Amino acid sequence: MSTQPVRVRFAPSPTGPLHMGGVRTALYNYLFAKKNNGTFLIRIEDTDQTRFVPGAQEYIMDALKWCGIMPTEGPGLGGNYGPYVQSERKNLYRPYAEQLVAEDKAYYAFDTAEDLDRMRDQAKQMGMPNWQYNSVTRMSMKNSLTLPQDQVSEMLANGAPYVIRMKMPRNHDVRFEDLIRGWVVVNTNNLDDKVLFKSDGMPTYHLANIVDDHLMEISHVIRGEEWLPSAPLHVLLYQAFGWDIPQFAHLPLLLRPDGNGKLSKRDGDRLGFPVFPTNWTTSEGELYSGYREKGYFPGAFINMLAFLGWNPGTTQEIFSLEELSEVFTLDRVSKAGAKFDPDKTRWFQQQYLRSKSDEELAQLLKLEVEQPMSDEQLKDICHMMKERATFIGDMVTEGAYLFARPTSYDESTVQKKWKEDSTVLMNEWMNIMEGIKPFNSENIDVAFKAFLESKGIGVGAVLPLFRLLLTGTGTGPSMFEISQYLGKEESLQRMQLGIEAVNQLKINA
């Protein structure tokens, strides 16, 4: 058993906002580190300067913070292995690439973009559409393996543009054991001579990634399945340097709700759900919506994400981040792609909303409400509405009558329930209400039942009328709680106004 401390990293490229698949990768890294008393760090992989998007790094940090899964080492966070942004480590990579050249494991290639295009075209004409720079073709290209040594030295001295390519061994099986996928074996004849170091003086992702994972003493590489094809090259690079190889775990893809393909950044707003943790506006002003701004609680979002590709092996579905950190193991991560389910996501949000105390919800509701309201009122609203809301904002829209008098009356209730004698019936009930003391839900409930009994009529004939007058709606929380909340005076006034308005509607109908 190795005693190497667990150190894992999330290594996003700042090429845009963080997709929820990226958040899941960060989450699994976070959970794995917590579970194993390890360290979770973030490294920004920005070696591809052409794909750099301003604001993306800040977005990523802000999103992780909102999710509550902050790394403990990273840009702006400190740590002994920095800098944690690859462009700030720029000068560190070249010697590693040159070391491989010196050891005949890599070579300088001077081919221009036109040279490469020409080779591809020629190959295509000969019926080989997938030309690669590899162990066979490299010998007919312009590189330090084919050109005379003095010419190479001269070109380098004269500053001729070059890249450094991996000298992929011929017909060699690369094997490694992935913690999720088991043994992976790839023959090097299927791999090309990847560029390790570019003409702009920057390493490619592959070189920078493994140099940094080595220097940052990463024990486990937990990342998305899309990087699985790169893993054999990475293994070969570790071997070429003679370094210990971290354990790999390639996470399953996140699929569209119908299981048809990868969940892409365009799917979200098209199919009516966010795919980003927080809002992102592109430089062209296009908005991609985020879970935060849609009103999701970070706990609900994280809980949902944890289940996209992992399960605890029990029927429990609601887990706090702390609980997840206790039970998470990579051996319960599935190989198969995980279908994103927007309904289930809303379900998680509902569960989280319901599990919060009225006091806690009241403080959140306060932020959504413009008019002045007491904490007590807000708490009552939350108490009444929380079973009927998915988001805090629903309490304001669904329970609009708790904030203001109704301005309209549900048409179908008016048509179906408001009869000739309804005015008289409601006036009688108002008289009874007048005498209820104290005017609280229990007393209103008792009085209401007694009223029904005295009239010999069922609840279904009276309660909808009562609700209609007080709230304008056909459904909602307990009428006794609503009346207590509104108070006797306001309740009676609403009933009076309601009776007039509904009768008017009847006349006009």
* 90 catalytic residue (yes or no): no
Q: Which range in 8-16, 27-35, 165-173, 282-290 contacts ligand GLU by CB under 6 A?
A: 8-16
By beta-carbon proximity to ligand GLU, the closer residue of 45 and 111 is: 45
Determine the Cα–Cα distance for residues 18 and 66; give it in Å rounded to an integer. Answer: 12
Tell me the C-alpha distance between 20 and 22, whole Å: 5
Question: How many residues belong to the site for ligand GLU (CB under 6 A)?
Answer: 8
Name the DSSP letter for residue 223.
E
Q: Does 11 bind ligand GLU (CB under 6 A)?
A: yes
Site map 437..466 versus ligand GLU, x via CB under 6 A: ------------------------------
Q: Does 12 bind ligand GLU (CB under 6 A)?
A: yes
Smallest distance from ligand GLU to CB 65, Å: 19
Signed CA dihedral, 255, 261, 265, 268: sign only:
negative
Q: How far apart are alpha carbons 302 and 298 in whole angstroms?
A: 6
Residue carrying the six token digits 């054991």: 177
Q: What gap in Å lies between CA 235 and CA 187, rounded to an integer?
A: 12
**Closer CB to ligand GLU, residue 34 or residue 223?**
223
192 counts as binding ligand GLU under rule CB under 6 A: no
**Pick 8 or 164: Cβ nearer ligand GLU:** 8
Please report whether residue 209 would count as binding ligand GLU according to CB under 6 A.
yes
Residue nearer to ligand GLU on the CB measure, 210 or 361: 210
- In angstroms, the first-to-last Cα distance of the chain is 82
13 binds ligand GLU (CB under 6 A): yes
Looking up tokens 């292995």 gives 81
The answer to whether the beta carbons of residues 236 and 174 sit under 8 Å apart is yes
Quick one: which segment of 7-15, 97-105, 383-391, 397-405 binds ligand GLU (CB under 6 A)? 7-15
Tell whether residue 45 is a contact of ligand GLU (CB under 6 A): yes
Q: How far is the CB of 214 from ligand GLU (least distance, A)?
A: 13
Contact between 436 and 443 under an 8 Å Cβ cutoff? The reply is yes
> Is 413 an interacting residue with respect to ligand GLU (CB under 6 A)?
no
Rounded to a whole number of angstroms, the minimum distance from the CB of residue 336 to ligand GLU is 21
Annotated catalytic residue, options 35, 90, 262, 265: 265
| DSSP string across 382-425 | HHHHGGG-SSHHHHHHHTGGGTS--SS--HHHHHHH--TTHHHH
Contacts of 257 (CB under 8 A, 6+ apart): 271, 339, 340, 341, 342
Q: How far is the CB of 75 from ligand GLU (least distance, A)?
A: 14
Cross-sheet strand order for the sheet of 7-10:
39-42, 7-10, 220-224, 247-251, 173-178, 182-187
The 217-256 site mask, x for binding ligand GLU (CB under 6 A), equals ------x---x-----------------------------
Q: Which is nearer to ligand GLU, 231 or 469 (CB)?
A: 231
Q: Which is nearer to ligand GLU, 131 or 227 (CB)?
A: 227
Spell out a b/e string for 133-149, using b for 16 or more CB atoms within 10 Å of the CB, else e. Answer: bbbeebeebbbbbebee
Contact set with ligand GLU (CB under 6 A)? 11-13, 45, 205, 209, 223, 227
- Active-site positions read 265
